[in-house]
Amino acid sequence: MGEERKRILEMLADGKITPADAETLLDALGSAEEPSTAPAPGASWPKGPSASGAPKFMYVKVTGKDTVDVKVPLSLLRAGLKLTSLIPSQAMDEINRSMSEHGMSIDFNNLKPEDIEEIITSLREMEVNVQAANGDNVRVFCA
């Protein structure tokens, strides 16, 4: 992880910046390090996974009467999962208890960096397509 990314995450952990600020900074940092995969105005969005195999962004595209284009950097997922280590154990116990009551379970304590990368790599296979009754089309995918 780059030194700049570490500093951003440390500022977030220390409460010096908000999660929205961290997202903006990480996105800007990602844009500075590599060419943007966002299409030029009027161009189409990527069709599927990036050539490297590991997706870098999650896209949500809605077309029809309403038009929505959202691009979420998957580095935000990495940062969020790493931040779970900062949650006090009592709070994690309460989260796990509450999730268990609803038939869910995620053990953040045993999540390793390689697990995070495996999750992100697996997202290249994810695609959701919805055609709404009102004519809008929704597509969620990673590339």
**What's the CA angle centered on 118, arms 8 and 75, to 5 degrees?**
20
Could you read off the pLDDT of 48-73 as tens digits, one per residue? 444 456 788 888 898 888 888 888 88
Q: Is 140 exposed, middle or buried (0-12, 13-18, 19+ CB in 10 A)?
A: middle
Helix (H) or strand (E) holding 61: strand 57-63
Per-residue burial over 31-54, b if 16 or more Cβ lie within 10 Å, else e, is eeeeeebeeeeeeebbeebeeeee
Type of residue at 115:
D
Contact 136, 64 (CB under 8 A): yes
pTM to 2 decimal places: 0.47
pLDDT digits (tens, 9 = 90+) for 58-112: 888 988 888 888 888 888 877 777 777 777 888 878 888 888 888 887 776 677 7
Sequence spans of domains, the chain: 1-35, 45-142
